[in-house]
């Protein structure tokens, strides 16, 4: 069970990405030490402002690579949906 002030959950099934677990996390009046933040590419200073530590070109390329992969795999998901729709339309009365 999560601690007081913390809410979490799962995003649910995804089209073609069911092997990946995606979830959400919400904090209300919870203080997290800066040393415990998952900040591989972003740094938060004592005043609360943040700065990006990683190379922006690398971060952008990674994001674009994932988006490209989603677009490349979408015809496969669409073909499955079309197959289901055509089969259903052939047998309905």
Q: What's this model's pTM, rounded to 2 decimal places?
A: 0.43
Q: Within a domain: residue 38?
A: yes
Helix (H) or strand (E) holding 91: helix 56-91
Cβ–Cβ under 8 Å, residues 76 and 16: yes
Per the structure, the count of domains in the chain is: 1
Q: Within a domain: residue 1?
A: no
Domain range for 24:
6-91
Is 78's pLDDT higher than 80?
A: yes
- Summarised one tens digit per residue, pLDDT across range 27-40 is 899 888 888 887 77
Q: Within a domain: residue 11?
A: yes
Q: Within a domain: residue 10?
A: yes
- Per-residue model confidence (pLDDT) at position 87: 94
């Amino acid at each position: 069970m999560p601690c007081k002030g913390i809410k979490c959950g799962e995003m649910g099934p995804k089209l073609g990405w069911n092997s990946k677990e995606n979830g959400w996390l919400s904090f209300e009046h919870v203080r997290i030490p800066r040393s415990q933040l998952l900040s591989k590419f972003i740094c938060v200073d004592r005043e609360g402002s943040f700065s990006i530590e990683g190379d922006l070109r690398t971060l952008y390329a990674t994001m674009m690579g994932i988006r490209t992969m989603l677009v490349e795999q979408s015809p496969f998901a669409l073909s499955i949906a079309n197959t289901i729709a055509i089969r259903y339309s052939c047998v309905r009365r």
